């Protein structure tokens, strides 16, 4: 056992003494050491209930013959960090979480890990750290929040963001906004639609890193507590059988995850995170070209929030991720292994029920195009990402004048003061991984556009990124970013930008001679942050098309 490094032999008497000081017995010390990575915090609803899940996992670990050691990592709530300087810390926190998992597991010689996670950056951060170690691990996500209900209608957090825009143009009163604020998020869980947290949970299940249905069981359902106990038992089995993550995380496993993501129309952030997760297996293990290639294989088969009407609760009742893969069976790589001990094919074969009102047949999809698309062109030579499943078809193709802003705050001010007109293309730059720094999510400006009724006539392009709850013609992750001197840094007010989501193009309609002149005149701005963690992150982080991983 790996834990023998800290517990076996005469020379480890001091180590054992410290472990006994924590209350562990000789018999417990002899068993496999299982690290329980808990991301509980009192300010994140997706994590507020994790104390109960941790206790359930521990019961499972002890039932399976292991010894549990709980430790914590940080968890940032993107919704609370949204729209201010705090959002600059969200994506960089992924690297802190990965480093924390790696550090704690190596320092204390854990034999295996249970990753208890939920929200946006915490899922990929934990996975990245655990994959580096290549020791057995299994994931327990916290589960989705139920939708809120008010006066016969269902709501979620994105309705509140968009309601701010509605209030600004007089569509609703302050009293109506307040009422929605109180009822949209009814309790524990990750926000109720196919936003980033739930998208990452679905990807984790498709990768084979949790037990079947683990992504979709509601946070408040007792079924999730039972799942936690089963996961606790399973990790001990994985340790005893020495089943490591790199035995599971093959190219085929990643292709399955990508196809499930594309078919569900997951968050654009999943592309960033999958690239980073795969990087821990091997640099370049998957690329944007894999997403582009696979987007031609699968259609968009589920109309989930924010672009559709269904919630994660509906997806679970419709059959969950096993049912999604059943519908995609002709495309899925069925020999891929999972932590359950079954192959993906065996999980698919056990599916007895699919609600096709929620998970549409492959020959009768929501959209024939996959829910996410990679765009390239003169404005994004290295790629950009759009959630086409949440875009009105009349905006698949659009040309319009650029309205250029060098920060999110400037763009929001222009939007809320009604300076953006139908047909415009809002460009928000210097918000990339290095330039932001931290590649902030642009949910506030996109929600304001939607709430003000401009979602079918105004496009938004950025080298930053978007919330999983963003809908409308919003193109992010433009690479190279402005801080690297990418073409987005050369755009001027009024330049015509051409978008063609069907042909996967994003172009700046400015003659090359003019662009070359602008390149020679361009000067790299001073860093926005010059001290602390973000300053260090800004110097080390790679481009979005590489997953915004940190270069060592």
Asked whether the CA dihedral 294, 362, 147, 215 is positive or negative, the reply is negative
Reading phi first (left if > 0) and then psi (alpha if -120 to 50, else beta), residue 50 is in alpha
Provide the angle, in degrees to the nearest 10, between the axes of the packed helices 222-241 and 50-64: 40
- Whether residue 463 contacts residue 268, with contact meaning beta carbons closer than 8 Å, is answered with no
Q: Residue 159 belongs to what H/E stretch?
A: helix 157-168
Q: Which two tokens stand for residue 464?
A: 């930053």
Q: Phi/psi at 303 (nearest 5 deg)?
A: -90, 80
Asked whether the CA dihedral 505, 508, 509, 515 is positive or negative, the reply is negative
Say how far apart CA 255 and CA 259 lie, in whole Å: 6
Determine how β-strand 373-377 pairs with β-strand 459-462: unpaired
Q: Residue 344 belongs to what H/E stretch?
A: helix 344-349
Report how far apart the first and last C-alpha atoms of the chain are (Å, whole number): 30
**Strand-pair partners of 475:** 386, 461
Which segments within 78-122 are labelled E, that is strand? 112-117
**Strand-pair partners of 354:** none
- Which is catalytic among the residues 39, 93, 295, 467? 467
Q: Which two tokens stand for residue 488?
A: 């987005």
- Whether residue 366 contacts residue 458, with contact meaning beta carbons closer than 8 Å, is answered with no
Closest CA to 199 of 468, 473, 515: 468
Whose structure tokens read 């996959």? 370
Say how far apart CA 427 and CA 472 lie, in whole Å: 15
- Helices and strands per DSSP (H, E), number in the chain: 22, 14
Say how far apart CA 393 and CA 324 lie, in whole Å: 24
Q: Which two tokens stand for residue 295?
A: 């987007």
CA dihedral (162, 166, 172, 178) in degrees, to 10, reads 40
Please indicate whether residue 330 is annotated as part of the active site.
no
Reading phi first (left if > 0) and then psi (alpha if -120 to 50, else beta), residue 377 is in left
DSSP letters for 218-285: -TT-HHHHHHHHHHHHHHHHHHHHT--HHHH--HHHHHHHHHHHHHHT--THHHHHHHHHHHHHSTTS
Q: What amino acid positions are annotated as catalytic residues?
A: 467
């Amino acid at each position: 056992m790996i834990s023998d490094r800290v517990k076996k032999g005469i020379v480890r008497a001091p180590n054992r003494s410290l472990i006994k000081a924590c209350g562990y017995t000789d018999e417990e010390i002899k068993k496999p050491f299982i690290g329980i990575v808990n991301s509980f915090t009192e300010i994140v609803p997706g994590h507020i209930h994790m104390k109960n899940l941790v206790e359930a996992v521990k019961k499972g670990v002890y039932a399976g013959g292991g010894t549990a050691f709980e430790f914590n990592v940080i968890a940032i709530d993107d919704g609370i960090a949204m729209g201010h300087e705090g959002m600059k810390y969200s994506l960089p926190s992924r690297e802190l979480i990965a480093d924390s998992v790696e550090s704690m597991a190596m320092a204390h010689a854990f034999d295996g890990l249970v990753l208890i996670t939920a929200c946006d950056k915490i899922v990929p951060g934990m996975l990245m750290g655990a994959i580096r170690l290549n020791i057995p691990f299994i994931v327990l996500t916290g589960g989705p929040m139920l939708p809120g209900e008010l006066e016969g209608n269902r709501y979620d957090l994105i309705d509140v963001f968009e309601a701010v825009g509605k209030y600004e143009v007089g569509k609703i009163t302050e009293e109506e906004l307040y009422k929605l604020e109180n009822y949209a998020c009814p309790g524990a869980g990750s926000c109720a639609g196919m936003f980033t947290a739930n998208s990452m949970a679905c990807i984790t299940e498709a990768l084979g890193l949790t037990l079947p249905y683990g992504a979709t069981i509601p946070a408040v359902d007792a079924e999730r507590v039972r799942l936690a106990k089963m996961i606790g038992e399973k990790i001990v089995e994985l340790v005893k059988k020495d089943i490591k993550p790199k035995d599971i995380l093959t190219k085929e496993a990643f292709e399955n995850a990508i196809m499930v993501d594309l078919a569900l129309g997951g968050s654009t952030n999943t592309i960033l995170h999958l690239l980073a997760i795969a990087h821990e297996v091997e640099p370049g293990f998957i690329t944007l070209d894999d997403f582009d290639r696979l987007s031609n294989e699968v259609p968009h088969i589920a109309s989930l929030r924010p672009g559709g009407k269904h919630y994660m609760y509906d997806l679970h009742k419709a059959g969950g991720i096993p049912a999604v893969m059943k519908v995609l069976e002709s495309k899925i790589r069925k020999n891929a292994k999972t932590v359950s001990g079954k192959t993906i094919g065996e999980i698919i074969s056990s599916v007895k029920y699919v609600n096709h009102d929620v998970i549409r047949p492959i020959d009768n999809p929501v959209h024939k195009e996959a829910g996410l698309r990679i765009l390239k062109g003169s404005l994004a030579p290295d790629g950009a990402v759009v959630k086409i499943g949440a875009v009105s078809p009349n905006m698949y193709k659009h040309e319009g004048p650029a309205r250029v802003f060098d920060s999110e705050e400037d763009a929001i001010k222009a939007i809320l003061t009604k300076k953006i007109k139908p047909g415009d293309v809002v460009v928000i730059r210097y918000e990339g991984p290095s330039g932001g720094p931290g590649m902030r999510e642009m949910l506030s400006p996109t929600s304001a556009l939607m709430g003000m009724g401009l979602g079918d006539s105004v496009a938004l392009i950025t080298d930053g990124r978007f919330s999983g709850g963003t809908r409308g013609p919003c193109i992010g992750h433009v690479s190279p970013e402005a801080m690297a001197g990418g073409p987005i840094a050369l755009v001027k007010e009024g330049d015509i930008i051409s978008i063609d989501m069907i042909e996967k193009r994003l172009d700046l309609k400015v003659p090359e001679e003019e662009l070359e002149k602008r390149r020679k005149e361009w000067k790299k701005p001073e860093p926005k942050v010059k001290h602390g963690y973000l300053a260090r992150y800004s110097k080390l982080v790679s481009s979005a098309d590489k997953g915004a991983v940190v270069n060592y």
